[in-house]
């Protein structure tokens, strides 16, 4: 095994939808372009940027509906990741919010896991997560029966990790609680250079993300049905039809579906503010909004506490209710002129790609030196 030029592999959770974790995965791929990628499922039609990567998928990738409904194969994920042969690698970097960290490596291999969150459907408010998730009732019933086994496997698989990196202080606490492991916080990042300040601010508020239950778009709709202010929603997902029905007859609420990156950049830069109502382990969209010089109105918990400065780059609301959100929006409407686009953007630069890369490479170098010194 080479100590000066270690052979690296990347292991990702399913590559079927594009979100914050996938943005981190893409940066890891760009940092280590020669490292092969191992993942349970890969849908190249939905995940872009990996066209030149050498990608190995599991047996699940060939099963019916896998590339669009990975959830139905959760019980097979442990087997899929344990079947990967990683014996030829010196360092394995897993990027995981689910099962990727469960790979098995030989004793000589260093396994570093970038944890986006311990499985949220197995820990914490797991009952609410499964109850709210829209899927076939029969699949949901059997899913609940399997969660206990998944939880046991998830806890045991955490013991296979030699070094945890957490994406936020919230995730750091959860890793400690559920896995009894220490971790180093390295925040995800954005390419701040893609975004710019726009002097032409519109009259609308913006929300961006996958339309799934825990993202709390239903809360946004109820709030804006009451305050009558313009709201633009970017994203698609399993809750889209229900949300459109909820907003029916309210012309101030507009669903934009999927937008191009250039369209999204413009929407960020001209919005009054981004609304971020969910409890996230970290959350990339607030960074993108702030890189555009626009403030964020966020639920004051989770990863938002690591990125948003209350009163300077946005406002927090304390309860996930329409009343609490609308009170904060009213406060923001009165105070909007006091927010400096330049200062907000300057704050976002702390989360630029180069910061992530430097901290990640420094951590990797330190852990690799310790690993070899202790063998």
Q: pLDDT tens digits for 86-113?
A: 999 999 999 999 999 999 999 999 999 9
pLDDT for position 150: 87
Residue 18 has pLDDT above 50, yes or no: yes
CA gap 27, 49 in Å, rounded: 10
Low-confidence winner among 37-46, 148-157, 251-260, 315-324 (lowest mean pLDDT): 148-157
| Whether the predicted pLDDT of 121 surpasses 80 | no
Q: What is the CATH number of domain 8-189+352-373?
A: 3.40.50
Which pair of structure tokens corresponds to residue 277? 């109502």
Joined tokens for residue 89: 């690698």
φ, ψ (nearest 5 deg) of residue 102: -85, 5
Reported pTM:
0.88
Question: Which 8-state DSSP code applies to residue 70?
Answer: G
- Token representation of residue 110: 């260093």
38 vs 135, higher pLDDT: 38
% of the chain exceeding 70 in pLDDT:
93
Domain boundaries, the chain: 8-189+352-373, 192-351
**Who's near 53: CB < 8 A, 6+ residues apart?**
29, 33, 36, 37
- According to DSSP, the residues that pair with 112 across neighbouring strands are 93, 163
The proportion of the chain whose per-residue pLDDT surpasses 90, expressed as a percent, equals 85
- Would you state the pLDDT for residue 2? 46
Region 36-57: mean pLDDT is: 96
| DSSP labels, 34-59 | TS-EEES-B-TTT--S-TTS-EEE-G
Task: Order the strands of the 55-57 sheet from edge to edge.
Answer: 55-57, 37-39, 8-12, 91-96, 110-115, 163-166, 183-185
- The per-residue pLDDT for range 187-204, each reduced to its tens digit, is 999 999 999 999 999 999
- Is the model's pLDDT at 1 over the cut of 50? no
CA distance 102 to 30: 23
Res. 375: pLDDT tops 80: no
Whether pLDDT at 74 is above 70:
yes
Q: Which CATH superfamily is 192-351 part of?
A: Glycogen Phosphorylase B; (3.40.50.2000)
- Residue 226: pLDDT band by 50, 70, 90 thresholds? very high
Residue 7 CA to residue 1 CA, distance in Å, equals: 8
Mean pLDDT of 209-221: 94
Name the least confident of 75-84, 148-157, 333-342, 346-355.
148-157
pLDDT at 131: 60
The whole-number average pLDDT for the span 245-268 is: 97
pLDDT at residue 15 greater than cutoff 70: yes
Closest-CA residue to 104 (of 85, 76, 77): 85
Asked whether the predicted pLDDT for residue 122 surpasses 80, the reply is no
State the pLDDT confidence band at 134, using cuts at 50, 70 and 90: low
Name the pairing type of β-strands 231-234 and 205-208: parallel
Contact status, residue 116 vs residue 26, Cβ threshold 8 Å: no
**Greatest pairwise CA separation for the chain in angstroms:** 67
Which pLDDT belongs to residue 135? Answer: 57
Q: What is the pLDDT of residue 279?
A: 93
- CA distances to 37, 94, 240, 247, 308 from 323, in Å: 46, 41, 23, 17, 21
Residue 345 has pLDDT above 70, yes or no: yes
The answer on pLDDT for 160 being more than 80 is yes
């Amino acid at each position: 095994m080479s100590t000066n030029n270690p052979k690296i592999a990347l292991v990702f959770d399913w590559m079927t939808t594009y979100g914050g974790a996938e943005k981190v995965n893409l940066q890891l791929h760009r940092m280590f372009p020669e490292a092969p990628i191992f993942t349970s499922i890969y849908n190249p039609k939905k995940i872009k940027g990996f066209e030149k990567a050498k990608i190995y998928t599991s047996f699940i990738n060939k099963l019916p509906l896998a590339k669009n409904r990975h959830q139905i194969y959760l019980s097979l994920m442990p087997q899929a990741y344990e079947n990967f042969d990683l014996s030829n690698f010196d360092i394995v970097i897993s990027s995981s919010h689910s099962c990727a960290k469960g790979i098995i490596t030989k004793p000589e291999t260093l396994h570093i896991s970038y944890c986006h969150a311990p499985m949220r459907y197995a820990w914490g408010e797991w009952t609410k997560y499964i109850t709210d998730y829209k899927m076939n009732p029969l699949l949901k019933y059997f899913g609940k029966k399997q969660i206990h086994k998944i939880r046991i496997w998830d806890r045991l698989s955490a013991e296979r990790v030699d070094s945890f990196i957490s994406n936020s202080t919230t995730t750091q606490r959860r890793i400690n609680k559920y896995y009894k492991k220490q971790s180093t916080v390295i925040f995800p990042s954005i390419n701040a250079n893609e975004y710019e300040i726009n002097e032409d601010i519109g009259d609308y508020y913006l929300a961006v993300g996958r339309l799934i239950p825990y993202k709390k778009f239903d809360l946004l709709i109820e709030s804006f049905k009451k305050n009558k202010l313009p709201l633009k929603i970017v994203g698609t997902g399993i809750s889209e039809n229900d949300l459109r029905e909820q907003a029916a007859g309210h012309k101030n609420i507009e669903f934009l579906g999927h937008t191009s990156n250039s369209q999204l950049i413009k929407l960020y830069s001209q919005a009054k503010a981004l609304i971020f109502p969910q409890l996230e382990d970290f959350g990339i969209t607030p960074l993108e909004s702030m890189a555009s010089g626009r403030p964020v109105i966020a639920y004051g918990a989770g990863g938002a506490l690591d990125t948003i400065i209350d009163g300077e780059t946005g406002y927090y609301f304390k309860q996930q209710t329409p009343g609490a959100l609308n009170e904060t929006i009213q406060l923001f409407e009165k105070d909007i002129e006091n927010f400096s686009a330049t200062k907000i953007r300057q704050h976002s630069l702390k989360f630029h790609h180069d910061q992530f890369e430097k901290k990640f490479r420094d951590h990797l170098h330190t852990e690799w030196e310790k690993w070899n010194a202790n063998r």
